[in-house]
Amino acid sequence: MISLNIYVYDILIVQSVIFIDACFGFIDACFGFIDACFGFSDRTLFAPPHKIVLLPKKTLSSGRNTMSTVNLLAEISIITVLRTVIALSLVVNAQAATITLLEENFNTENNGSGVLNYGSFTNFDATYGTVDINGYSDFLPGNGLYVDAEGSTSNAGKLSSKSTFVFGSGDLVNLLFKLAGDQRNNGNNSVIVSLGSLFNESFILPSTQGFTTFTRSFTVASDTSAKLAFEGVGGDNIGLLIDDVSLTKSVPQPPSLIGILGLGGFGVTSLRKRKQEKVAVKV
Ligand SMILES: [Ca+2]
Ligand SMILES: [Ca+2]
Ligand SMILES: [Ca+2]
Ligand SMILES: [Ca+2]
């Protein structure tokens, strides 16, 4: 490194280095962003730093000062490392945040007691008929309270969430719930589960089937809002049983430009410190 001849306290050179650092930082941030968007590339992420020394060495002149391109190229090798850091930080940033929208096990409804034609749910409105909680007896002990989708007015009810949930394009929706057969030899009863225009499915279970967890996951195509609903089908007061409802959405977190620039700035600072340390050792 005999050719290295930097006067570190020369303002012109320092300003030039800052500018070049900033340019490389910005270009590198762009590459990092592209890497993150299109998957990691060995070429861009892990370019062998030793290749740098094979490049021709030139000297840049600025007034009485000179700076070897080795120095610039050394920066590039460091920037390769920085690129990795930026890309990894983007991975962290890109991890989705999961938000619980609704969770209900019905156990505390009506002060914990089963009742016919119940309509004062914490999280749901009962409409288009009636539903019971635990009906005339506890058909499936060990589950606390649960819903009988057909109440006792010969008109099955529909539970609609009181909240209208907002979904954005790209959100990953996870819907879990338990359904059980009527437990009263009523045959194959059904419940229609829906989430606005996002989801609609009819479930038919035999009478004797115990509580079974159903899981449905899907990605939202375009911004929308929706209520979660369970609609009993029938009019003989014996319906499917519903319990343990859970609705979550995972919102993708786009990498922020500010974060990228922030990392770039950190890199520039580190590079400058490192450069000064190198020169100090040589002096
Ligand atoms: Ca329950
Ligand atoms: Ca009933
Ligand atoms: Ca009805
Ligand atoms: Ca029925």
Provide the pLDDT for residue 10. Answer: 45
Say how many Å lie between the CA of residue 96 and the centre of ligand 1: 29
Say how many Å lie between the CA of residue 219 and the centre of ligand 3: 30
Q: What is the dihedral of CA 101, 176, 207, 135, to 10 degrees?
A: -30
**Do 159 and 227 form a contact (C-beta atoms < 8 A)?**
no
Say how many Å lie between the CA of residue 269 and the centre of ligand 2: 70
Alpha carbon distance 185, 234 (integer Å): 14
**Do 94 and 29 form a contact (C-beta atoms < 8 A)?**
no
Q: Which ligand is nearest to the CA of 133?
A: 2
Q: Which ligand is nearest to the CA of 136?
A: 2
Alpha carbon distance 179, 243 (integer Å): 6
Say how many Å lie between the CA of residue 43 and the centre of ligand 1: 54
Say how many Å lie between the CA of residue 97 and the centre of ligand 1: 27
Say how many Å lie between the CA of residue 166 and the centre of ligand 2: 32
Provide the pLDDT for residue 272. Answer: 47
Say how many Å lie between the CA of residue 133 and the centre of ligand 2: 8
Boundaries of every domain in the chain = 11-95+254-282, 98-251
**Do 268 and 30 form a contact (C-beta atoms < 8 A)?**
no
Provide the pLDDT for residue 280. Answer: 46
Strand partners, 205: 189
Taking the CB of residue 243, how many other CB atoms lie within 10 A of it?
21
Kindly state the DSSP code that residue 53 receives in the 8-state scheme. G
**Do 241 and 114 form a contact (C-beta atoms < 8 A)?**
no
Say how many Å lie between the CA of residue 38 and the centre of ligand 4: 52
Regions of the chain with pLDDT less than 50: 1-14, 42-57, 60, 64-67, 69, 258, 262, 264-274, 277-283
**pLDDT of 205-258, one tens digit each?**
999 999 999 999 999 999 999 999 999 999 999 999 999 999 999 998 776 554
Say how many Å lie between the CA of residue 22 and the centre of ligand 1: 59
Alpha carbon distance 181, 117 (integer Å): 19
For 98-251, CATH gives 2.60.120.260
Burial 157-170 (b: 16+ CB within 10 A, else e): bbbbbeeebebeee
Q: Which ligand is nearest to the CA of 237?
A: 2
Beta strands 228-233 and 189-195 are antiparallel
